[in-house]
Amino acid sequence: MRLIALAVTVSALAMAGACGATGQDAPAARSGASLETRPANNPSQQPATGDQTRAPAVRTEAALTHTVVASGLQNPWGLALLPDGRWLVTEKPGRLRIVTADGRVSEPVAGLPAVSARGQGGLLDVIVGPTFAQDRLIYWSYAEPREGGNATSVARARLSDDGTRLENVQVIFRALPVYDGDKHFGSSLAFAPDGKLFITLGERSDRPMRPQAQDLASHMGKTIRINADGSVPSDNPYVGRQGALPEIWSLGHRNVQGIAITPTGDVWTIEHGTRGGDELNLDRAGVNYGWPIIAYGVEYAGGAINEGVTAREGLEQPVYYWDPVIAPGGMAYYDGAMFPGWRGNLLVAGLKEKRISRLVLQNNRVVGEEYLLTDLGERVRDVAVGPDGAVWAITDEANGKLVRLSAQ
């Protein structure tokens, strides 16, 4: 193993102003000033409900510190905890490493298939299988080079006993169609309590591909649900429907890079908007989340997105959206011991705004928001919760870092 020197940065985090609510004790009715004060990219748009955007600020009363545990990672993308307390970390160019809690970074794990590492493509998410204790299976998503272009794929393999290589690699899902592009691959992974594997996908961004988010004959812009071996669950919503791909769980997504599944099985996903319109969705079977027919925000070049419509009958509204955007990465559901007031909250990695957003949920609505890790000053790509309840994050930088956020 190569050892990257342990870089330690400990600082009290600058906290946003409070509205009287802390943790998940926020009132059901909103009160207090919004945490977001910047003007919206599309100020003429109105949310469908009063609690859909610009939540009141909440504040953690306890002092927080962060420690940079490891550095020298090249654009890390995915983060997953092994049962022994070490972390699996993917690097977008196509390397998987194991990082110990004290900052030792392994040589690349051998045995990964080739990745299409251009643009937003590369080695993406990684998760530990629910039966790892018996079979040592891990799962990862990646942009796979294919004839005529590339697309998102998911593979699994046995992590060798010494952690140096992957054995018996199997590709268990290949998104279709193949497209020669470099954007919007998605892709986050999560196992539900019943052992089903969820995969989030993008619609590949380019205008000719956007309509495929609404096409049930395409995987693009969909959330996928499969069994751990890649087979299709018989209770998926489009099984047996002519012209529909049976792996599809939901449709109408733009570029979903974060997913968190609660202990009760609720599926939360988060996706990138354009200029405005980053979305948090409660992702349910057979539901159409609207892209590109409805959306908040404006095009990157300015102007309306398609018809400029934000709502239409039969299309689901986001639970919450950001305008301006935060450029969300990964997401975690907090159920740890270190911050009891955070239990039931969502932690959302922010790339553009270089922070973590803590979302306080009540009755599946966002009733408060707090910015965390604001003084690190780096693009936060993914976030996870450690065994003791500390929050861990990776930063999407050429000199990427593994960071631990804890009570002081």
Please write the tens of the pLDDT for every residue from 332-350. Answer: 999 999 999 999 999 999 9
Q: Convert 283-308 to b/e letters by CB count within 10 Å (16 or more is b).
A: beeebbbbbbbbbbbbeeeeeebeee
| Contact of 138 with 80, CB cutoff 8 Å | yes
- At 182-232, the pLDDT tens digits run 999 999 999 999 999 999 999 999 999 999 999 999 999 999 999 999 999
- Name the pLDDT band for 19 (thresholds 50, 70, 90): very low
The pTM is what? Answer: 0.94
What pLDDT sits at residue 99? 98
Check residue 9 and give its pLDDT: 40
Q: Please give the average per-residue pLDDT across 303-331, as a whole number.
A: 97
Give the mean model confidence (pLDDT) for residues 246-269.
Answer: 98
* pLDDT-wise least confident of 19-28, 104-113, 327-336: 19-28
The Cβ of residue 364 has, within 10 Å, a number of other Cβ atoms equal to 9
pLDDT score at 63:
94
Token code pair at residue 303? 């102007």
Q: Which CATH architecture does the domain made up of 2-13+61-351+379-407 adopt?
A: 6 Propeller (2.120)
Whether the pLDDT of residue 283 is over 70: the answer is yes
Say what the pLDDT of residue 6 is: 38
One-letter amino acid identity for 110? A
Q: What are the pLDDT digits (tens) for 138-190?
A: 999 999 999 999 999 999 999 999 999 999 999 999 999 999 999 999 999 99
User: What span, in angstroms and rounded, lies between the C-alpha atoms of 339 and 24?
Assistant: 11
Annotation marks residue 66 as catalytic: no
How sure is the predictor about 25, in pLDDT bands with cuts at 50, 70 and 90? Answer: very low
- pLDDT confidence tier of residue 32, bands split at 50, 70 and 90: confident
Taking the C-alpha atoms of residue 406 and residue 385, their distance in angstroms, rounded to an integer, is 10
pLDDT value at 70 more than 70:
yes
Mean residue pLDDT of the chain comes to 93
Question: Residue 205 in contact with residue 256, Cβ under 8 Å?
Answer: no
Percentage of the residues of the chain whose pLDDT score is greater than 70: 92
Query: Choosing from 66, 184, 219, 272, which is the catalytic residue?
Result: 184
Of 69, 63, 58, whose CA–CA distance to 27 is shortest? 58
